[in-house]
Amino acid sequence: MYIHQLKLWNFRKYGSETFDLNNPHLDVSFSQGLNLLIGENDSGKSAIIDAIKIVLKAHAYEWIRAEDKDFHINSESQISDRLRIEIHFKGITDDEAKNFIEWLGWEDEKLKIDDGNGNISEETVKRPKLILIYDVERKNGNIIPSDIRAGMDGSGHILNAEAKEYLRCTYLKPLRDAENELIAKKNSRLAKILSDHKLFKNIDTNHPLIETFKRANTDVRNFFNDNNGDESNKSQIKDVIDEFLKDFIEEDYSSKFDVTETDTKQILEKISLGIEGKNNLGLGTLNRIFMATELLHLRRNWNGLKLCIIEELEAHLHPQAQMKIIEKLKKESEQSNIQFILTTHSPNIASKVDLKSLIICKDNDIFPLRHGLTKLEDKNYKYLERFLDVTKSNLFFAKGIILVEGWSEEILLPELAKKIGYDLTKQEISIINVGSTAYLHFAKIFLRNDGKNMNIPVSIITDLDNRPDTEGKFTSMANETDPKILSKYRSLESLKNDLTGTSVTLYLAKEWTLEWCLFNSNSLSYIFKESVKEVHSGTNEFKLDAEQNFKPEFQSKLMSKLKKESGTSQLDKVQIASELAERIEKSTTLTIDTKNDEYLTYLINAIKHVCDYGNR
């Protein structure tokens, strides 16, 4: 069994002035395996996790109930008087269903049947479904106690204690104190996990571990009762204590030294866990031991819920460790039938998880990237799962995104933005270098089929790739005869139509390439030429003439290098962009003409789109 759906009404940031059972304020669907909640701070990830924890409780036996802070505060700063959480379970096996007979409902499920000859048919079967309900009210400022109920009628019946035990989840909190959970102490998490294992269930007094501690107790007593010699162990310690005990209490009182009582609980509380041959373990290693121990707990053979919730998996872990762990969790979810619901701020983790497993939290809503909910097609998923690396995965946490084709744009845009009054870092804008014209794959992440608008502004900046004639004149893209250029033109026109009415906008270079536009820019032409001269200092055409002016041949040589004509080296675009960015940053007199510089308009508008989107 697994959580298929979570519905929230007036729970924390998810709420409104109206309360309609047919229209939850948040409706989240989860997959059976790995689910990763991602998003910026305060985007609602923890609220989703806490809602699950309140209903299911955790194996650590934390005492959790609804508090005032859990009730939604509306736009008029009024606290709602009712909150509701529903958790819907699917995939319930017969062995699991027997634990919830009186609370189960039934629903139709379509199964695909293969007759062995390649013919696939669908068959509708009845499968059990379980819905948990936690509905809480506030009256006169007081929270009315409420029980967890279950049923298909909207109100349900109270779950008994035995049924609740089968619905506990494993929860690892953010910034978890792994060291404290693994040391020997009363009610340690390690002792709880071990006590639930079949090796320690219903054991008798002849259990090998109990026998071990009996022998240890005997050896300890013998040591403190050793009465040999004038300065015996007994006379130095036990006899002194006994003297005081007799005066403090009664004459027949005598001390006894033990390692521990020989019942299972107290024995397990004397056990700690570490790494063989390693001492003074760091937080990262302890965190990994702790997670490994929790997975032991989830691997046990029982007929209850196998759900592991981990907030901020990356806590105390370096990037390579994060990736190793997420790979293992992916395999574990497939092989051991464990459902994982994780939260993260880490692009490293986001880059390693199947795109279909991601759920973006933003603006009091959620945006799963599962198949069918976005414009992503199979070819897009396939491409992105190979090329969505760590540097590109930061797009999931940004407030605005600029997709560019190469390093030159990525280097130049931050400094250009500052010159026109925008700081991309302060406004949490990410520049994503897709390294090619593959921006459509990335853009489709933000285009939805489910009617939702992610409201994340995305600017796509692209060259046209049409080439000028020897005089620097261009043929209209629509009139191009080169099949590659014509194909790109048609693709761009089609993309424009797809983006109509969305927060994703396409910005095309006026002519040819970024470098050609910089060369022709009213604002940047001179320092661009200075940058080219500095980088290609050995090229005669780029040097100044006797009057310290750029030579007329500059344009033709630049065109030759951009066209990659034989007999000339290619233009070092990245180094030129770096040099130009430095000159823009250091210049105290440079002014960008944001209204009349037609060759920079596409870059300026792309910056303004992502920075001003929420202010329009």
Q: What is the pLDDT of residues 420-435, one digit of tens each?
A: 999 999 999 999 999 8
User: Which pLDDT belongs to residue 300?
Assistant: 75
Give the predicted TM-score (pTM) of the model: 0.86
| φ and ψ at residue 170, rounded to 5 degrees | -100, 130
pLDDT, one tens digit per residue, over 120-136 is: 888 888 889 999 999 99
pLDDT tens across 557-599, in order? 999 999 999 889 999 999 999 999 999 999 999 999 999 999 9
For tokens 């790739």, the residue is 465
CB 157 within 8 A of CB 149: yes
What Cα–Cα distance (Å) separates residue 53 from each residue in 101, 138, 167, 320?
A: 23, 20, 11, 29
Note the pLDDT of residue 616: 54
Q: What is the arithmetic mean of pLDDT over 595-606?
A: 96
Is residue 48 packed enough to be buried (19+ CB in 10 Å), middle (13-18) or exposed (0-12)? buried
Mean pLDDT of 310-339: 91
Q: Tokens 């041949």 appear where?
A: 553
3-class SS letters over 505-568: EEEECCCCCHHHHHHHCCCCHHHHHHHHHHHCCCCHHHCECCCCCECCCHHHHHHHHHCCCCCC
Contact assessment for residue 307 and residue 345, using Cβ atoms and an 8 Å cutoff? no
Q: Which amino acid is at 207?
A: H
Q: Residue 233 in 3-state DSSP?
A: helix
- What is the pLDDT, as a whole number, of residue 61? 53
- Taking alpha carbons only, the member of 47, 27, 8, 56 closest to residue 306 is 56
Name, in order, each residue with C-beta under 8 angstroms of 436's C-beta and a sequence gap of 6 or more: 405
Q: What is the pLDDT of residues 154-209, one digit of tens each?
A: 999 999 999 998 998 988 888 788 888 889 999 888 998 888 888 888 787 788 99
Domains and CATH numbers, the chain: 2-192+279-360 (3.40.50.300), 206-261 (no CATH), 374-615 (no CATH)
Contact status, residue 468 vs residue 565, Cβ threshold 8 Å = no
Cβ contact 8:51 at 8 Å: yes
Tell me which residue has tokens 């030759």: 560
The whole-number average pLDDT for the span 245-257 is 94
> Tell me: the pLDDT tens digits for 362-421?
888 999 999 999 999 999 999 998 888 888 898 998 999 999 999 999 999 999 999 999
- Where are any strands of DSSP class E within 324-479? 339-344, 358-362, 365-368, 400-404, 429-433, 458-462
Structure tokens at 136: 């809480």
> Is residue 332 classed as helix, strand or coil in its secondary structure?
helix
